[in-house]
Amino acid sequence: MATTFPGSKGWLAGAGIALLATATCLAQQPAGAAWLAAHNQQAIAPTTHSAADSPLPPGEYITDKGWGRLLIKQQNGILTFSLESTTGEDVCELNGAIEGHTGVAKGNKGQPTCQVKFASTPQGIDVAAATPTECKTFCGYNGDFEAPYLRVKDGCGRDALDRTRTTFQRLYDAKDYKAALATLSPVVPSCLPTLEWEDEGAVRNDLAITQYKNGLYAQCLSTLDKYAEDAAKDDDAAVEGWTPVLADRYLAIVRAARTNIGLCRKGVMKR
């Protein structure tokens, strides 16, 4: 029976089968050099396009790999925005009204106003700080929110994913493994571009153990292939280079993958 880690939205699938703690909406990002380079490239090289002056459509937008989330809503005739992002262990949180293509986030007492520029693109909305110094006060020390934000696909927004995973969990707990598999299988191919790294780990482990329950051992191994190298290492080697806080979270993914890979390899060998 699947269980839940305290303080998280992750699931454990199957007795003796460790799955991981899923991130909260403000899930943290790995601080590896490769990720930071990709993130910086996003921030300093926003897309150039002819649609920059297009109206900003309300909706949910998420960065590549899910480290930032932008919500634009029409409320009482006013266009508003809410923006949250996590870079390593640092968080940015901004919200306010949009005038034209500029968002204005007002802080607490003594905190300067942050102006955010929004530019429509074919893929979503590019976000940049119009007042970088003032906007920095809305973030942690290394926090950042500047990047292209992608309009999420149907079923891939955070609320929609929560509903899908809740339905999956109910079906899995009822041992309806075929229906559970059908529910969760579309998430990885459809939502991978905007899945936060910790959510991706949780979904892949949940999917893999469900594939195992359905006798799909090769598919299970394929689902967890990106973690196979680290799963083959000991714990310390698997999280080398990670900050202590993030290392524990990534290690939960690796440990679950290690267990599930072992089960699926045994299944392949029995055939």
Please report, for the chain, the start and end positions of each structural domain, with discontinuous segments joined by +. Answer: 33-151, 158-270
The percentage of residues in the chain with a pLDDT greater than 70, rounded to a whole number, is: 80
Cβ-based neighbours of 212, under 8 Å, separated by 6 or more: 220, 260, 263, 264, 267
Average pLDDT rounded to a whole number, residues 25-29: 39
Query: Can you tell me the mean pLDDT for 20-46?
Result: 42
Given a cut of 50, whether residue 6 has pLDDT beyond it is no
- Annotation: CATH topology of 158-270: 1.25.40
Segment 55-110, tens digit of pLDDT: 799 999 999 999 999 999 998 899 999 999 998 889 999 999 999 999 999 988 77
Tens-digit pLDDT profile for residues 223-248: 999 999 999 999 999 999 999 889 99
Q: Residue 103: what pLDDT?
A: 97
The answer to whether residues 175 and 181 touch, using CB atoms and an 8 Å cutoff, is: no
CATH architecture assignment, domain 33-151? Beta Barrel (2.40)
At residue 148 the predicted structure's pLDDT band, cuts being 50, 70 and 90, is very high
